[in-house]
Amino acid sequence: MIVNIKTADAKIYTLDMETSDSVSSLKTALQEKHAIPVALQRLVASGTVLSDSISLEDAGVTDGQTINLIVRSRTGASKKRCSFKSCSSAPLRIVGDCSFCDGHFCSKHRLLEDHKCTGLQDCKQQLHDRNALKLQQEQTVASKV
């Protein structure tokens, strides 16, 4: 199976993996081929963070799917200012944290659209699916008289 890994700066790494391989082995392959330390990697697919202990198949990763890679900061300095490029404002606590791209944003860039979040499509798809399920459950059936 081919797995595409997309970074925050729009680089795409392509890896050939087996469906039975674990997420941990995918991270190890990324480290070996592209020198990204495993400890700093966070993989997000369809808006959820992939656990190291599960297989790619159990994580719902399909052939050719693109997974977002978030590389964590070594020093934690990203929390001192907004993660948006060219912004030096202080990030907001709790409401400024984006769970889709792991960024910390100020009041101006805290919304997904404002900081051009890499997980925006995943978020929209999750909301669409949740609303569709809710509408389906609340659908009324006309009784035949």
Q: Tens digits of per-residue pLDDT, 118-128?
A: 878 888 888 89
Q: What is the pTM of this model?
A: 0.51
CA 49/CA 32 separation, integer angstroms: 21
Burial readout 114-133 (b: 16 or more C-beta within 10 A, e: otherwise):
ebebbbbebbeeeeeeeeee
Give the pLDDT score at 78. 42
Average pLDDT of the chain? 84
Please choose, from the candidates 71, 21, 19, the residue with its C-alpha nearest in 3D space to the C-alpha of residue 44: 71
- Domain assignments of the chain as residue spans, ordered by start: 1-72, 75-137
Reply yes or no on whether the pLDDT at 59 is more than 60: yes
**Correct CATH for 1-72 of 3.10.20.90, 3.40.50.980, 1.10.3720.10, 3.40.605.10:** 3.10.20.90
Q: How many CB atoms lie within 10 A of CB 62?
A: 13
